[in-house]
Structure 1
Amino acid sequence: MYQSLEAELHDHFWNSEEDNTSELPLLQTFLKEHPGKTLEIGCGSGRLLLPLIAEGFDVEGMEFSQDMIQLLETSAKEQLLTPKVHHADALEIFDFEHKFHSFLIPAFTIQLFSRGQAHDLLKRLHDSAEKSASLYLTTFIPWAEITGELEEDEWHLDKEITLPNHSAARCETLHTIDRLNQTLHRRHRYSLTSSNGMDTRTHKSEQVIRYYGLPELTLLLEKSGWHLENVITDLDPGMLHPNAHLLTITASAEPS
């Protein structure tokens, strides 16, 4: 997951879509309300981790992809930051020097795990938590695929941008969906074409995404030892949108 060209283009595509919808404000608010040592699961290239560290938050990262870690290290060096990053599979037995006051699982990372794996991960985080620790978690619901707005088994242009060096980057996606089991299977084709059109690199990848409604997500948390505290939809703390695309929750390691 997130290797080669997929890793290289990840932040470029993500940032081109975010505009003012970044999770950073929510993460900043969460960490101010829950100070202490924090671990981000699936920190990737440091897109969220490094700005938080730059602001003085005590956040460590965990990432499995070596390609993403290399991007993180390059960005950190450019920003004169020295993040602590654990190169590990999040499903491995945790053996940290200390317990954590909070955990971050932003950017839909939890949905890359099977439901059983998600339970195991959340349980292991709970076991690595201080008694009063908190959890931040964001998921998304693929409404376009669920409703059939995007047709199954057909390639469509997902993202297309021009990079600062004038190279053209594209991502095409084909999907199938299992609505009964709430599982989305995506195939991606990445391409990067030089500014003169003479050189093209390509990469293919696949991912399986599990999507959750709020009742199931709440139950998953409870079975893992966490207790729901707050719900935010579409990164808007002021509203609860019934047809939201993004679902952010915070939870506590002990009952309120």
Structure 2
Amino acid sequence: HWQVVVARVEWDEDGASEVRGGPVAQALLEEILVDPAVTGPDSADRIAVAHTGDEAIALVPLPAAPDRPDGEASGTGSDTASDEDPGADGHGEGPALHADALLAAVRAPLSAGLGDDGRLTLGVSASVHSAEGLRGALEEARHARRVAAARPGRVCAAGHHELASHVLLLPFVPDDVRRAFTARLLDPLREYDRRHRAELIPTLEAFLDCDGSWTRCAARLHLHVNTLRYRVGRIEQLTGRDLARLEDKLDFFLALRMS
């Protein structure tokens, strides 16, 4: 089994622009991935890293999963990891390399080393079970790296599990579209809160977080249900939306995430 990690180093316009990003990214990946705390002691000495253009690519072998008690291998035999693979979704126990663990291990030292003019972004693929799956894993890691690149910070990473979420889409919404969308939905509520201290924005956040449950939301906000209904009614009146409709709930959810 393998995973692919893609890294890219970029410099600010006033930084060390004469330094090519690809070799630097390769050197950083080699330093990061030979750390057993990140990859495990069994695979650290078999990692292959190369660079092409401004990006570096690492092929990370994973220890074979133990056989199940009935003697069947835990893998499915498909090119990509299944949902039952502990490393397939980036969570839980298992041999797979996780983007969040990788970031936690390297963010502080690399941020200091890159200084004020360098930036490192990383993307981590799901594990694949055959050589035929490596091309798809490479594209997946590249997509994840682009998600990481849309985030603030000197060192950022994203994993494959983020590609099946709205998290993939939001960073690529143009700033002017983002501002117009959030302003249309949220500015009337913010202005009302400013004038009346009505806490409509926190109420909206809690209502969506409670999946529209009146009782759970009222309990979370320490309100009577009738008070909650009044606030939600005011939100609908000010915005012209209906929080009983899935489409309007989704619009509010996205507006809050982009604000």
Q: Shared fold by TM > 0.5?
A: no
The structure carrying a bigger strand percent of its residues is: 1
Q: Greater CA radius of gyration, 1 or 2?
A: 2
TM-score by length of 1: 0.22
The structure carrying a bigger helix percent of its residues is: 2
